């Protein structure tokens, strides 16, 4: 695939990084669920500091944060492409959107499960 500047890969790393950051900003601007995930991440980080998570627990949480956030952005991209290709309702487009949303839901459910496993024992000690 060619870019507007010629051959694939000819754009400077700084420009592609700025494009990626723009994509994150677009996602935060347009997707309520992504903003909710970011709020939840901030809350979990705050609680993690309070309960004193280990380095391994932090690593697991950061992996979970990254996976969930990335899947949310991929889901948004898939939905955007699907809407561009076929703006009207179509059963195949609905299926595509449902599948990508299902991936995000699975990641969110398992993120909550990881949070429970990591935080429940520590929070029980506080009560």
**What would the DSSP string read from start to end of 45-101?**
HHHHHHHT--HHHHHHHHHHHHHHHHHHHHHHHHHHHHHHH--S--HHHHHHHHHHH
CA separation for the pair 86, 122 (Å, rounded): 49
Tell me which of 31, 57, 72, 79 is the catalytic residue.
72
To the query of whether residue 72 is one of the catalytic residues in this protein, the response is: yes
Which contiguous run of DSSP H or E holds residue 12? none
Which sequence positions are flagged as catalytic?
Answer: 72
């Amino acid at each position: 695939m060619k870019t507007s500047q010629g051959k694939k890969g000819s754009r400077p790393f700084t420009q592609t990084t700025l494009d990626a950051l723009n994509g994150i900003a677009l996602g935060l601007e347009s997707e309520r669920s992504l903003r909710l995930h970011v709020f939840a991440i901030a809350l979990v980080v705050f609680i993690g500091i309070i309960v004193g998570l280990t380095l391994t627990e932090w690593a697991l949480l950061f992996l979970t944060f990254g996976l969930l956030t990335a899947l949310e952005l991929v889901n948004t991209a898939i939905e955007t492409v699907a809407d561009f290709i076929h703006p009207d309702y179509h059963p195949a487009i609905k299926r595509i959107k449902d599948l990508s949303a299902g991936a995000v839901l699975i990641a969110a459910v398992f993120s909550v499960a990881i949070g429970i496993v990591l935080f429940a024992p520590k929070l029980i000690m506080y009560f």
